[in-house]
Amino acid sequence: MNSSPLYLQIRDRLLSDIAAGIFQNGSFIPTERELSELFTVSRKTIRSALAELEGQGVLTRVQGRGTQITYNTVGVSAPMDFIALVASAQSPFFREFYSWFGEEAERHDSLVIFKEDSKGKLFRKEGLLQMFFRKGVRNLVVWPYNFEIDLEMIARARGLGMNVVFFDEEVETKSADAVLLDNKDSMSRLCRKMLAKKIPKKGILYLTFSDVSLRAVRERTDVFKQKIGGRILEIPFAEQSEDKLESVLSELKKNLPRGIICATAELAVTLRHVLLGWGIANEKVAISCIDDLPGMDGLGITRIAQPMKKFAHLTYELLRKQNESGRDWKAKVYRLKGKLLKG
């Protein structure tokens, strides 16, 4: 049984309807009389509920027209007791980030609630935002790993009073901060290291994905084109397993590049295993990539390791700053430099 005051119950029901998209941003909600009849409560209770939503910046009284839904675009002061983390556990880097972020949250007496989203459809699921608001969750971290985000849903979350940070990807929205690796700097450093090996540009291959729309992947490709301009081989994301990659690379067997830069660490490791299976020693083909995985030290792969501990700390701090900055908050993108590890 819900023991909270009746006007707060009405407030939460209105929030739930707005979160579900029943009432759209910019639209006018029913009158006090209509809401009183709809919820079978007094108009005084309705007025108290609407006053709560006005105070949160969700509603605005428009003279002569009624009460309009107006999404927040500012930081929202809210308890940080709970932080929702929506991500794909399939990412090999998730556990490292989750571990650091969990420690950061625990130091500040916050509890992280993880919601698995491997296909990018969780935010399209009916009821997710309503559940967050019903449970008092007002802080959200999203890791958009190889999927598209429903930006309308994110704008709705911000508009209704939720602070949001994206991790590992820059997203075109004014509703969230973003924390990610400086991909341009990272790829530039890998290109310089490869060229320092005296490998001609035409002898360097870039291996990436043909069907991944993430901006980070596109940025890495663009820098390779600018710095080296060598051959680019794109493969479907699903074909990075060893047997499928071996089939894709079989055409290179007769004329192997002397250097190969990979878009991700998974791709680099799989590539090295394929080459070793062909009897090609590490020193014959230089491989580099962005990201680091356990067990890469013995494979002769130069890579940029992402600063996960710094990412976790900054992500938490940005949520805190959104809570504190109020109307002064503006969405920003924060790019951190990674550490070069020699293969």
Q: What is the pLDDT of residues 215-239, one digit of tens each?
A: 888 899 999 999 998 789 998 877 7
Give residue 242's pLDDT band: very low, low, confident or very high (50, 70, 90): confident
Helix or strand or coil: residue 291? coil
Give residue 146's pLDDT band: very low, low, confident or very high (50, 70, 90): low
Count other C-beta atoms under 10 Å from residue 340's C-beta. Answer: 15
Q: Which whole number is the average pLDDT over 279-286? A: 93
Asked if residue 273 has pLDDT above 90, the reply is: yes
- Reading the block at residue 291, the tokens are 């990201």
Q: What is the pTM of this model?
A: 0.85
Q: Which whole number is the average pLDDT over 141-167? A: 81
- Reading the block at residue 168, the tokens are 């590992």
- DSSP calls for 314-334: HHHHHHHHHHHHGGG----EE
Give residue 123's pLDDT band: very low, low, confident or very high (50, 70, 90): low
Question: What domains, with CATH codes, occur in the chain?
Answer: 6-69 (1.10.10.10), 82-175+308-336 (3.40.50.2300), 183-305 (3.40.50.2300)
Contacts of 30 (CB under 8 A, 6+ apart): 38
Q: Which amino acid is at 129?
A: L
Rounded to whole angstroms, the Cα distance separating 227 from 276 reads: 28
Helix or strand or coil: residue 164? strand
- DSSP calls for 218-231: HHHHHHHHHHT--E
Q: Which residue has the tokens 């973003």?
A: 178
Helix or strand or coil: residue 79? coil
Which of 196, 253, 257, 267 has the alpha carbon at shortest distance from 230?
257
Rounded to whole angstroms, the Cα distance separating 126 from 52 reads: 25
Q: Which amino acid is at 17?
A: D
Q: What is the pLDDT of residue 119?
A: 64
Q: What are phi and psi of 335, to 5 degrees?
A: -110, 125
Rounded to whole angstroms, the Cα distance separating 105 from 313 reads: 9
Are the C-beta atoms of 120 and 154 separated by less than 8 Å? no
Q: What is the pLDDT of residue 122?
A: 62
pLDDT in tens, 283-335: 999 999 999 988 898 999 999 999 999 999 999 999 999 999 888 899 999 99
Average predicted confidence (pLDDT) for the chain: 88
- Please tell me the least confidently modeled range out of 67-71, 74-78, 140-144: 74-78
- Reading the block at residue 79, the tokens are 């308890």
